C-alpha cells in the first residue's frame, strides 16, 4: 500500500490545535489504515501569536513560528488548518491559503458566517476546498450529514440547541432556581463559559452556526445582518417558572425552517419548548440538532458541542477528506445565486406574553380588547397568587396567544404599552411546536 504524506500547517495551538496534534500522534497509524493510505498526515508548521505562552501538547519547538503567514507560505505545507478565531487575521490567512491552492480546514463559524461570501468565491475561483465540520456543534458530524447523507432530501427544518454555555445556564436556572448572574458565574467557575461570555449568551455563537447550516441546506449564502438573534441575558427565573407550570422548558433554539413558497426563516432566540419534545431533554453543555427531510423524515444528532476532543475530532475528519485529494464536495459551494430569507415580522408562531399590570378590575379585558382589534386570539391566561406579596399593587399576568405573524404581535403590543395599567414592557417568548 503506497502513500504520500500531506504536510499540515496549524494556525493556532490552543485547546483545539493541541488536540489535533494529540490525535495525530496517538492515532496517525489508525487513520492511515482506515483510509487505506490516502490520509498520511504530518504537522510541518505551527503558527502562534506568543511563543512563551504555556500550552498543552509536546510539539517540537522548531515547528513554531509567530509569523502566521509562514503556515501558508511554507512549501512543505499542503493543507492549512485555521484555529486562531476572530475574523480579520483569520480571513487574510484563509484567503491566502486558498489563493495558493492549499485546502483549508477551519472551525471558525464567525469567519464563515460573516465573510463566507468572499471566501467561498475564492474557493470556487481557485478550485480549492474549504472544510468546516468543526465550526458547528463540535464533535457532531452535522455538516457532512447535511452535505452528503441528506443530499437526496429537501430539508424542511433544522432545529438545534447548538450553544452549550447557554444551555447549561438555562438548565441551572431551571433546576436550581438560580438567577442569570448566578448561573453565569457557575458556568465560568466550571470552565463552561469564557472570561468574555458575550457571543455565547447573546445568541450570536449559535446564530453563526445556524447560518452555516441554513446556507448548506438551502444552497445560498445568508447575510448574517438579516438574521434575527436574541440571547438569554434577559431570561428570568420568573419566566422559567411560568414555563414549567405550563408544561414547557426554556431553551436557546436555533431554527432554519423552509416554507411552501420556497423561502426560509432563520432565527435564534430563547423559546418555550414542550417538555415532551426530545430537544427538551438536552441538558448541560451538550448539543443536539433535529433535522427533518422530505424523504428521511426526522433525525436527531446529539453529542458534545465543544471541548478539545470533540472539536479536534471534527478537524481530523476534514483533514482526512482534504488529504485524500477529493474535491467532490469542495467543502461548500452554493448552488443557487440567491434565496428568499423570510422577514422576521412575517414569521408566525404562538406566543407567551407576560404583562406586569396594576391589580385592578378590567385589566384582562383592556388587554384582550387591543389583541382582538389586531385579530390575535387568546388561548389562555395565567395569573398565580403571589403568596410572598399578597398586598402588592401589581400582578404578573400571562397570556398564551394563538399563532400570528410576529409583526402583527409587535403592533398590538405597542398599543398595549399605552394602557395605563402596565407597569413595565411586556415580555415575549415564542412557543415552538417544531
d(Cα 430, Cα 103) in Å, to the nearest integer? 41
Q: Hey, which residues does 290 pair with through a beta bridge?
A: 159, 300
Per the residue annotation, which of 45, 102, 209, 251 is the catalytic one? 209
- Cell numbers for 79: 493543507
User: Beta strands 348-358 and 378-382: pairing type?
Assistant: unpaired
Query: Nearest 5°: phi and psi at 312?
Result: -65, -35
- Cell numbers for 77: 505545507
Distance of CA 253 to the CA centre of its chain: 9
Helix pair 406-416, 363-373: axis angle to 10 deg: 140
Cβ contact 62:24 at 8 Å: no
Q: Alpha helices of 74-203 — where are they, by DSSP H?
A: 88-99, 109-126, 142-144, 164-175, 180-189, 198-201
Strands (E), 146-247: 155-161, 228-229
d(Cα 149, Cα 198) in Å, to the nearest integer? 34
Map residue 214 onto helix, strand or coil. helix
d(Cα 243, Cα 38) in Å, to the nearest integer? 52
Cβ contact 288:282 at 8 Å: yes
The count of other CB atoms within 10 Å of the CB of residue 172 is: 22
Greatest CA span in the chain, whole angstroms? 85
d(Cα 11, Cα 17) in Å, to the nearest integer? 8
275 is catalytic: no
- Cell numbers for 66: 509567530
Cβ contact 311:138 at 8 Å: yes
Q: Any idea which residues carry the catalytic annotation?
A: 209
Amino acid at each position: 500500500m503506497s502513500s504520500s504524506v500531506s504536510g499540515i500547517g496549524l494556525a493556532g495551538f490552543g485547546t483545539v490545535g493541541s488536540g489535533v496534534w494529540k490525535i495525530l500522534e496517538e492515532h496517525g497509524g489508525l487513520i492511515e489504515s482506515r483510509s487505506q493510505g490516502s490520509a498520511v498526515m504530518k504537522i510541518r508548521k505551527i503558527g502562534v501569536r506568543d511563543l512563551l505562552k504555556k500550552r498543552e501538547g509536546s510539539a517540537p519547538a522548531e515547528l513554531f513560528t509567530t509569523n502566521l503567514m509562514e503556515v501558508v507560505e511554507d512549501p512543505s505545507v499542503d493543507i492549512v488548518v485555521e484555529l486562531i478565531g476572530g475574523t480579520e487575521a483569520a480571513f487574510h490567512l484563509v484567503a491566502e491559503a486558498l489563493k495558493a491552492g492549499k485546502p483549508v480546514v477551519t472551525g471558525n463559524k464567525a469567519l464563515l458566517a460573516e465573510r463566507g461570501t468572499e471566501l467561498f468565491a475564492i474557493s470556487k475561483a481557485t478550485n480549492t476546498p474549504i472544510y468546516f465540520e468543526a465550526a458547528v456543534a463540535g464533535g457532531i458530524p452535522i455538516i457532512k450529514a447535511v452535505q452528503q447523507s441528506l443530499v437526496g432530501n429537501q430539508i424542511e427544518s433544522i432545529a438545534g440547541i447548538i450553544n452549550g454555555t447557554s444551555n447549561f445556564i438555562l438548565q441551572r436556572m431551571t433546576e436550581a432556581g438560580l438567577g442569570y448572574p448566578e448561573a453565569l458565574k457557575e458556568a465560568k467557575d466550571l470552565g463552561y463559559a469564557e472570561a468574555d461570555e458575550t457571543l455565547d449568551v447573546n445568541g450570536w455563537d449559535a446564530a453563526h452556526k445556524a447560518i452555516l447550516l441554513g446556507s448548506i441546506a438551502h444552497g445560498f449564502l445568508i447575510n448574517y445582518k438579516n438574521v434575527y438573534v436574541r440571547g438569554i441575558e434577559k431570561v428570568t427565573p420568573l419566566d422559567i417558572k411560568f414555563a414549567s407550570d405550563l408544561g414547557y422548558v426554556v431553551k436557546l433554539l436555533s431554527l432554519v425552517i423552509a416554507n411552501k413558497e420556497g423561502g426560509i426563516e432563520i432565527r435564534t432566540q430563547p423559546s418555550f419548548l414542550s417538555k415532551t419534545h426530545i430537544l427538551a431533554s438536552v441538558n448541560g453543555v451538550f448539543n443536539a440538532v433535529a433535522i427533518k427531510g422530505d424523504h428521511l423524515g426526522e433525525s436527531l444528532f446529539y453529542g458534545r458541542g465543544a471541548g478539545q476532543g470533540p472539536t479536534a475530532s471534527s478537524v481530523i475528519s476534514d483533514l482526512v477528506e482534504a488529504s485524500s485529494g477529493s474535491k467532490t464536495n469542495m467543502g461548500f459551494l452554493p448552488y443557487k445565486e440567491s434565496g428568499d430569507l423570510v422577514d422576521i415580522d412575517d414569521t408566525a408562531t404562538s406566543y407567551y406574553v407576560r404583562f406586569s399590570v396594576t391589580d385592578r378590575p378590567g385589566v384582562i379585558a383592556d388587554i384582550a380588547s387591543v389583541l382582538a382589534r389586531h385579530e390575535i386570539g387568546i388561548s389562555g391566561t395565567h395569573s398565580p397568587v403571589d403568596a410572598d406579596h399578597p398586598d402588592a399593587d401589581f400582578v404578573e399576568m400571562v397570556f398564551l396567544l394563538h399563532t400570528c405573524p410576529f409583526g402583527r404581535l409587535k403592533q398590538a403590543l405597542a398599543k398595549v404599552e399605552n394602557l395605563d395599567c402596565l407597569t413595565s414592557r411586556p415580555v415575549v417568548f415564542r412557543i415552538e411546536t417544531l
